[in-house]
Structure 1
Amino acid sequence: MFKTSRNAELLPGLSTAPDGVQFWSYVELEVTWLWFYLQIVEDDGNEAFRSMLMVPSVPLLEQVIAAQTEHAWLEQAYLVNPGHMNKAGRWMMEPLLEISSIRDAQGNVLGHQYRVEGDRTYSTSASQPLDTRMSTHVIFSAALHLRG
């Protein structure tokens, strides 16, 4: 979902480093779709290092959640959403409280519901509101998955 241009690469000589690290002056979002901005903490026992991840999808967010350990964890999570979703007419970055999958009676995922600070909810499901044949399953909860 994020793309880069070779022209945006910084310090290109470092891209041959054994760990494959590359630095970019910018990335481009190809579609007008929501994404997640996550603060990750890595603690080596002596010092805690913080970095930010830009995650473009719920499945990748689930992988980040599953990869948490006692030495690496999520500290903050934000939903970055476009104006057509939040009805504000502009992009917004809001503290993320919960993500639930919306499923039909057969268990097929129809979309996701996002709850952010201020108790606002956004949905990517075509069915609004949830009908009685649908259910939700919590994928992410700030109370459960963030550590401060």
Structure 2
Amino acid sequence: MSEANDKTDGQELAAQGDEDSGPKLPTNPELEDALREAVESVESHEKEAAAGPEDVAAELAKSNDRLLRLQADFENFRRRALSERHDLYQHGHENLVKDLLLTVDNLDRAIGHARESEGGDLESFLQGIELVQREFLGILEDHA
């Protein structure tokens, strides 16, 4: 019988050994609170992750809308700049032509005066042409 008692005692020791070898959970209240907070944190992160795709989709839609608006603004800016450049080019030529018309009128007057005098006063004709030349060069300098 001693062998039977030995087996029973061995089985009891093995059972106790199994209980002793397993992890024991701490009974410290601070650790329990920390564990509870960690579990709550994980759960809240899971909830945020579940709601995340909707937020990401909304943010993506906002970013896409901003991009489209920015592209439209840039296209409007490009068109406006092109139109202003065209207008400036066209109006710049108008001013040059107006100024040159005055010079052409002065040149016509000098030629008309030379025809009326019939070869008389070559010196005054030359002075008139020089005056028109200075006026013409002044206009070119102003518009260059």
Same fold (TM over 0.5): no
Higher helix share: 2
Higher strand share: 1
TM-score, length-scaled by structure 2: 0.19
Higher Rg of the two aligned structures: 2
